């Protein structure tokens, strides 16, 4: 990982404002932070030449983000101020809801069998063995609803994949 360097406000302005300017050579590559006029801190990750910029309250938060650029600024703040995100959400009237989403993928296949049950069994085995591929191109619908409990027709969360497979493995008689 590149060293993290503190730079001047002027250097940060050049890095951010002139980044996409024609003919600008990207001499400032690396990870940088600087103090802002309002008492906050600006962090810039230009280690790959893409110049990602974020603002933070403290130098400690800015450096932490530069060390962990996969985190969002909100996640960095939550790391240093546990509960801050919950407090802001509460002030905004936000609550958590568990939302159940079911994607229904469907694909018609023709199966030669003696009965509907045998056709369903053959289709299920073919699907289970990878001979029938149901993918995003076969998306029929998606529904989402808030439920009190995550139970699907008597199945628990561990049975969800099995449930989803059985829902999609129905065969109509011709």
What digits encode the pLDDT tens for the residues 22-77? 655 556 678 999 999 899 999 999 887 788 899 999 999 999 999 998 898 888 98
Q: What pLDDT score was predicted for residue 23?
A: 58
Q: What pLDDT score was predicted for residue 26?
A: 58
Q: What pLDDT score was predicted for residue 33?
A: 95
Structural domain boundaries in the chain: 4-91, 99-168
Cα–Cα dist 41/12, whole Å:
11
How far is CA 140 from each of CA 23, 97, 143, 172, rounded to the nearest angstrom? Answer: 50, 25, 10, 17
Q: Which helix (H) or strand (E) holds 141?
A: strand 139-146
Q: Model confidence over 142-152: pLDDT tens digits?
A: 777 776 554 44
* Helices 116-128, 160-168: inter-axial angle, 10-degree rounding: 130
Q: What pLDDT score was predicted for residue 65?
A: 94
The pTM of this model reads 0.48
Q: What is the mean pLDDT of residues 72-95?
A: 83
Q: Which helix (H) or strand (E) holds 35?
A: strand 31-35
Average pLDDT, the chain: 77
Cα–Cα dist 77/65, whole Å:
9
Residue 168 has pLDDT above 70, yes or no: no
How far is CA 55 from each of CA 16, 115, 140, rounded to the nearest angstrom? Answer: 13, 66, 43
Using pLDDT thresholds of 50, 70 and 90, give the confidence band for residue 160. very low
Q: What pLDDT score was predicted for residue 130?
A: 81
| DSSP label at residue 69 | T
DSSP helix/strand/coil, 6 = strand
Tokens of 50: 């893409």
The mean-pLDDT minimum among 40-49, 136-145, 165-174 falls in 165-174
Q: Where are the beta strands (DSSP E) in 36-116?
A: 41-45, 52-56, 99-105
- With b for 16 or more beta-carbon neighbours within 10 A and e for fewer, the 73-91 pattern comes to eeebbeeeeeeeeeeeeee
Q: What pLDDT score was predicted for residue 66?
A: 95
């Amino acid at each position: 990982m590149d060293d993290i360097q503190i730079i001047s406000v002027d250097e940060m302005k050049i890095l951010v404002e002139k980044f996409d300017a024609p003919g600008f050579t990207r001499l400032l590559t690396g990870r940088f932070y600087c103090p802002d006029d309002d008492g906050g801190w600006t962090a810039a990750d230009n280690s790959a030449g893409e110049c990602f910029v974020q603002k933070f309250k403290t130098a400690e938060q800015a450096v932490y983000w530069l060390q962990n650029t996969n985190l969002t600024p909100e996640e960095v703040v939550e790391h240093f101020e546990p509960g801050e995100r919950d407090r802001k959400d509460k002030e905004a009237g936000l609550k958590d809801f568990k939302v159940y989403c079911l994607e229904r993928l469907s694909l018609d296949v023709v199966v030669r069998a003696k009965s509907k049950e045998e056709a369903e069994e053959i289709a299920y085995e073919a699907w289970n063995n990878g001979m029938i591929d149901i993918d995003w191109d076969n998306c029929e619908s998606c529904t989402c609803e808030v439920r009190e409990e995550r139970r699907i027709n008597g199945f628990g969360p561990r049975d969800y994949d099995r449930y989803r497979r059985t829902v999609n493995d129905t065969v109509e008689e011709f």
